Amino acid sequence: MKDYRKYLNPKVVAKLKNIELIAKLVVEGFITGLHRSPFHGFSVEFAEHRAYRPGDEIKYLDWKVLGRTEKYFVKQFEEETNTRIMIVLDASASMKFASGDNLTKYEYGSYLAASLALLMIQQRDAAGLALYDTEIRKYLTPNSRPSYIREILKTLETNQPQNQTGTANCLNLIAERMNKRSLVVIISDFFDDPDSTLKALQHFRHNSNEVIAFQILDDRELDFKFGQSANFVDAETNETLITHPYQIQKAYQDSIKKFTANLKSQCHFHNIDYNLITTSTPFDKALVTYLNKRKKV
C-alpha cells in the first residue's frame, strides 16, 4: 500500500511542480488517511446521502446502504447536496516569503486552495475562487461542474503575487459580491490592519455565511530565528532594514503572539473558525478542519 502521508507533506508534493497533480495526490492521500484514522467515514456517502430523520418518506430510504451498514440513510436530491463554497486566497507580495527550502506562503496557499477545490467538486459542492492583493484580481463564481476544477487550477497556477496588501478592503468587496449564503474559506497571512481585517471577516458573518480563516505563516515569521545578522527587505514596499535578529527576537515573538492571539480570539467570538498553519504543516490538518465545518453546514 502506498504511504499516503508523503502526499500530505508540502515539501514532497512541491517537487512535482504541477498543481493539478499535486491537488490529486493530496486529496488521494487525505482520503486514504481518513479510512485509516479515527475520522473514518468523513468522506463516505455524505455527498449522496444523509441520515434518516423522523418524517422522511420511507420510499427514499437507501436499502442497499441499510443492508451493508445497518444504518438508515435517505438519498439526497441535487439541490440538497450542493453547498456553495468560496475560496479566497491572498495573492499580495507578502505571500511570496519563504525561509530555507520551505514553500512560499502563496505556493502553500495555492496548493491548499487547489486541494480544497478538487475535494469540494468531487463531493458535488459548488466551488469558487477569489484572488486579491490591493484589489480583486480574479473572481470565479462557485460551480459544481467537474470540468470547472481545470479553470480554478489554471487561475492558481498562472497568478504570481506582486502587489501590496489590501485584505480588509478586498474581503469587504468579496462579501458584497456574494449574493447567496456560502461557506467562505479565507487563506491569508492577514498582514493588514487587525481591526479593519476583523470587521471585514465579520462582514461575511453578517450575510449569514459560514467562515473558515486559515492564517498561513512561515516558521521564521513565528520564531524569528534568522541568525546573528540579517538584511530584511519588505516584499511590498522594498524598504530595507539591516539588524541583528537576536537583539529583537524576544520583542518580535511577543508581538507576533499577541497579533495571532488577538485574531484567534476575535474570530472565535464572532463564530469564525480560525486556524494558524505554517508552510511546513501537512495539508491534512486544513482539510480535516474544512470537513468538520462542512458537516455542520
Give the DSSP letter string of 233-293: E-TTT--EEEE-HHHHHHHHHHHHHHHHHHHHHHHHHTT-EEEEEETTS-THHHHHHHHHH
Largest CA distance in the chain: 72
Hey, how many other C-beta atoms are within 10 angstroms of the C-beta on 102? 19
> What is the residue-averaged pLDDT of the chain?
84
Q: What is the pLDDT of residue 47?
A: 43
Q: Which of 78-82, 215-219, 249-253, 292-296 has the lowest mean pLDDT?
A: 78-82
Do the strands 210-217 and 183-188 form a parallel or antiparallel pair, or are they unpaired? Answer: parallel
Instruction: Identify whether the C-beta of residue 190 lies closer than 8 Å to the C-beta of residue 162.
Output: no
> What is the DSSP pairing of strand 273-278 with strand 210-217?
parallel
Residue 254 has pLDDT above 50, yes or no: yes
Q: Identify the CA nearest to 252 among candidates 272, 230, 268.
A: 230
The answer on pLDDT for 233 being more than 90 is: no
pLDDT of res. 56: 64
Number of helical H runs and strand E runs in the chain: 11, 10
pLDDT band at 57 (very low <50, low <70, confident <90, very high): low
Per-residue pLDDT tens over the stretch 182-216: 999 999 999 999 999 999 999 999 888 999 999 99
Answer yes or no: is pLDDT of 133 > 80: yes
Reading the block at residue 242, the C-alpha cell is 539591516
Are the C-beta atoms of 123 and 47 separated by less than 8 Å? Answer: yes
CATH topology of domain 4-32+82-296: Rossmann fold (3.40.50)
Residue spans of the domains in the chain: they are 4-32+82-296, 45-79
User: Of 82, 81, 87, which is closest to residue 23 (Cα–Cα)?
Assistant: 87
Residue 152, Cβ neighbours under 10 Å: how many? 25
In this predicted structure, the answer to whether residue 61 has a pLDDT above a threshold of 90 is: no
The whole-number pLDDT of residue 44 equals: 36
Candidates 171, 165, 149, 151; CA nearest to 91 is 165
> Residue 33 pLDDT more than 80?
no
Res. 296: pLDDT tops 80: no
User: Which residues touch 257 (CB under 8 Å, ≥6 apart)?
Assistant: none
Please report the pLDDT score of residue 109 as a whole number.
97
Q: Which of 199, 214, 86 is nearest to 139 (CA)?
A: 86
Q: What is residue 211's predicted lDDT score, i.e. its pLDDT?
A: 96
Residues 6+ apart with CB under 8 A from 247: none
CA distance 150 to 118: 9
Specify which of 2-6, 74-78, 203-207 reaches the highest per-range mean pLDDT.
203-207
27: nearest Cα among 11, 8, 10, 2? 8
Q: Are 105 and 97 in contact (CB under 8 A)?
A: yes
C-alpha cell at 229: 545578522
- Which among 287, 286, 281 has a CA at the least distance from the CA of 103? 281
Angle at CA 143, nearest 5°, toward 287 and 291?
Answer: 20
Instruction: Give per-residue pLDDT as tens, 83-116.
Output: 899 999 999 999 999 988 899 999 999 999 999 9
Judged by DSSP in three states, 64 sits in helix
Least confident of 108-122, 149-163, 245-259: 245-259
- Residue 48 confidence class, pLDDT cut points 50, 70, 90: low
